[in-house]
Amino acid sequence: MHATNIQKAIQQLKESIFVRVRHRALLQYTGAPVVDENQLFFLLLPFLNGEPWHEGLQESATTVGIVQASLFEHDKIKEKDAISKEQQLTVLSGDYYSGRYYEILAHTGNIVLIQKLAQGIVERCEQEIAAYEHTYRTMEQWVNNLSLIETAIIRKFYEAHGFNKYSAVMVHALTIQRLQNEMDAFHRYALTAVGRAMEKCFGQQELKHLLTVAIEEQQKLLTAELAALQLSDELQQFIWRIVKVETR
């Protein structure tokens, strides 16, 4: 599949998400929902790779995108003093999107996906809160933590629809993306909550080194998984672009 068509499929899914959660007051105060296009790409990967796809699957992918948008809204809440009208409505926009994904799946009778996504959200919350637990973790544990945060929801979508073979590639690619984001945040002196927790464990210089090593390790694993999955050249190139590696 050509890169333009990949982009078109992503934009269509994005539009479908926006349409399903459109809300006058939320649009006015918190703006349109934020969705990570790379995450949408992985939701669509089975379709882009030619797996049988139908309206129900597109609807499921839309609801998973809504879940991601919901969690992203709540990620925007500040640790202290979230008292502005915008922050208050950001809390509610996350809750509203959460209600909407449940409502859509309830109407299509997809109880299995409701359950799977709920389990994914539980897993993700358990990992997100780890940053505030003041517990020592090894770098391997932190990489696992970041990986679960980024991939738990999509993994549940794959599980619900029998697309497990795409999991490993998705997990390594999105883990690299997150580790790179942590590295960028490190260089900008704007660490995330997990970044701060990792810094407490290892110190500044060691953290930089460990992040570099972890990214390299994940890239090796991604290379191996991509070889095993045998995706088209276009899809492979798209994935390497996601992880900011231009030529392979």
Partner 1 sequence: MEKMKLKLLYADLKSDIEIIETELEKALNSSSHLLNEASLHLLQAGGKRIRPVFVLLSAKFGDYQIERMKHIAVPLELIHMASLVHDDVIDDSNMRRGRHTVKAQWNNRVAMFTGDFIFARALEYVTVIDNPRAHQILARTMVEICNGEIIQIEDKFRMNQHIKDYFRRIKRKTALLIESSCELGAVVGGVDEQNIRRLKRYGYFVGMSFQIIDDILDFTATDKELGKPAGSDLLQGNITLPMLLLKDDAPMQPYLEKIIAGTLTEEERMKMLQYVRHSDAIKQATAISDKYLQKALKEVEALPKHPMKKKLRDVALFIGKRKF
Binding residues for partner 1 (CB under 8 A): 23, 25-26, 71, 74, 77-83, 85, 88-89, 91-92, 94-96, 98-100, 102-103, 105-107, 109, 111-112, 114-115, 117-119, 121-122, 125-126, 128-130, 132-133, 193
Which CB atom, from 18 or from 53, has the smaller least distance to partner 1? 18
The C-alpha atoms of residue 130 and residue 135 are separated, in whole angstroms, by: 8
Instruction: Give ∠ CA 4-238-226 in degrees, rounded to 5.
Output: 140
State in angstroms the smallest separation of the CB of 86 from partner 1.
10
Which CB atom, from 37 or from 132, has the smaller least distance to partner 1? 132
Instruction: Indicate the Cα dihedral angle 13, 5, 164, 177, nearest 10°.
Output: -80
Instruction: Indicate the Cα dihedral angle 194, 200, 206, 211, nearest 10°.
Output: -10
Length reported for the chain: 248
State in angstroms the smallest separation of the CB of 27 from partner 1.
11
State in angstroms the smallest separation of the CB of 58 from partner 1.
20
State in angstroms the smallest separation of the CB of 82 from partner 1.
5
Phi-psi region of 117 (alpha: psi -120 to 50; beta: other; left: phi over 0): alpha
CB 218 within 8 A of CB 151: no
CB 237 within 8 A of CB 2: no
State in angstroms the smallest separation of the CB of 49 from partner 1.
29
Which CB atom, from 79 or from 233, has the smaller least distance to partner 1? 79
- Residue with the two structure tokens 């499921």: 60
Query: Alpha helices of 22-84 — where are they, by DSSP H?
Result: 24-30, 37-48, 55-75
Q: Amino acid identity, residue 67?
A: V
Which CB atom, from 121 or from 221, has the smaller least distance to partner 1? 121
State in angstroms the smallest separation of the CB of 237 from partner 1.
35
State in angstroms the smallest separation of the CB of 178 from partner 1.
17
Which CB atom, from 46 or from 120, has the smaller least distance to partner 1? 120
Which CB atom, from 116 or from 172, has the smaller least distance to partner 1? 116
Query: Which token pair is 196?
Result: 């701060």
Which CB atom, from 25 or from 32, has the smaller least distance to partner 1? 25
